[in-house]
Each structure stands twice: as C-alpha cells, then as structure tokens.
Amino acid sequence: MVERLRGFGNKSREPADRAIGKMAGVETKTLSQEFRPFIDQEKEALVKDGAAILDLEVGATIEGQQEAGRLFRYVNYGGDGGDRLLKSPSIIAQVAIYPAPERFFIPNSGNKDLPTQEQLAKEDGQELRKRLGLEDDSVDVIIPDQASTFTELTFKHLDETTQKGKGVWLFGNEYGNLYGRTKNPVNESGPHVAHVGGAIPDHGVAVSHWRAAHGSVYVHVVRLVVAKKK
C-alpha cells in the first residue's frame, strides 16, 4: 500500500520559497508560516482534550534532517524539483496534535481533493474551538504549506516518546501507514503537492506527492492545531 504513493513529478527550478498558486485548476491559499505560542487557557484546554503540544525547530528542512541522519524511507520529488521540497523550512510554531491513532487524522478526510480537505480542516477547527469553549481568534486546524513541518513533527514526537520509554512513529502501523497532505508544491507548473507518512520503524518516514486536484484513500488531513496570530 505505501509503495503505491511514490508519485511522479515534472522538472522544475522554481525557488523553494515561491508561494503556491493555481495548479491545474486548483487554487490554494498560502498561509503565514508563523503563528503565536498557545496561551495557558488554550494549552490547558487542548491537553485536557487529549492533545500533545510540541515546539517545532526553527528552520527545520528535510535536507537538514537527512544530513543529521534522520531516517527516511524515501523522498520522492520528481525531476529537478528537489529544492522546493528539500529546502523549504517547517512552520515556526508551537503546534498541537492528537497522538491517539483514532484522532490523529480528521475523520473521512481521505480520497478528497486539496480544496475539499482544506474545507474539512476549517470545519474541524470550528468544531474544536466550540468543543473547547475557545474564541474564534484562538486556535485553528491547518494543512501546512511545507512537508518539513510533518517530518519535523514526526521526529520530534519520536524523540519525546522514546525518552518516555517507547518511541512512537506517527504515520506508522498504528496509524494505518497513511499519509498527511501538505500544500508543498513539487513542480513549477504541475499539480503535485507533497504528502508525508507511511512510516516504518528502522526504515523511517516517506515523502512523496499526489495531485492536488485528486484524492487518494491513503492521503488524509492531519489534525494539526496552531494558535492564530492576534
């Protein structure tokens, strides 16, 4: 199953920091890469609800993670589009995830195109705020612009759970070896965006891509929570 999503791509030399625009009829909106830390009220409500809070490393890139010896099953970007994927830094943020496998992904978010998945993330954020009794300008659920956000999140969570006695690979077998959608483009004019997942212990996490205008039963939306800037 995990091998089916290696994907394919077009050659490109577009700079890594170029915003995502219209891709084969699919328009995506680029989000700011910076978010504020959670305030105490938000943090307490999230943790009580089962979330885990993590601080992502500033400027983490897939290229840097590879150089540091982090485990990757493969990184497939297609053609000459590597810089766009390898050098794009993760969001500078304190984030929250729901590490319980049944809550990690937004329900029924697979097999849907990127615009539909973005709407599901928006609705999930609204439901989250209502459930936790938080204001509209508090927290949100997003699809990240960068694949490095998910790889950094995977390694950060692995490190923290290893220190507690049992390392847990997000996107691993307990998570169905599924993938999390991102908005990270892998070619200049083509429609492909990266996804991260299919983790296997001792082999690592996989990075590949899929058409933004199409869904896959293996590519879902991670419930990634951030605090909105005020």
Q: What is the pLDDT of residues 49-63, one digit of tens each?
A: 999 999 998 889 999
Q: Across the strands, what pairs with 51?
A: none
Q: Give mean pLDDT, residues 132-145.
A: 96
Average pLDDT over the chain reads 86
pLDDT digits (tens, 9 = 90+) for 153-190: 999 999 999 999 999 999 999 999 999 999 999 887 65
Q: Rounded distance, CA 53 to CA 215, Å?
A: 29
Residue 146, number of CB atoms within 10 A of its CB: 24
What angle do the packed helices 40-48 and 114-132 form, to 10 degrees?
Answer: 100
Q: What's the pLDDT band for 215 if we cut at 50, 70, 90?
A: very high
Alpha-carbon distance of 131 to 108, in angstroms, equals 19
pLDDT for 84-116, tens place per residue?
899 999 988 899 999 999 999 999 999 999 999
Domain of residue 179: give its range. Answer: 2-227
Three-class secondary structure of residue 57 per DSSP: coil
Identify each DSSP E strand in 60-191 by its residue range.
72-75, 94-97, 139-142, 179-185
pTM: 0.86
Cα–Cα–Cα angle for 222, 163, 169, rounded to 5 degrees = 30
pLDDT of residue 59: 86
State how many domains the chain has. Answer: 1
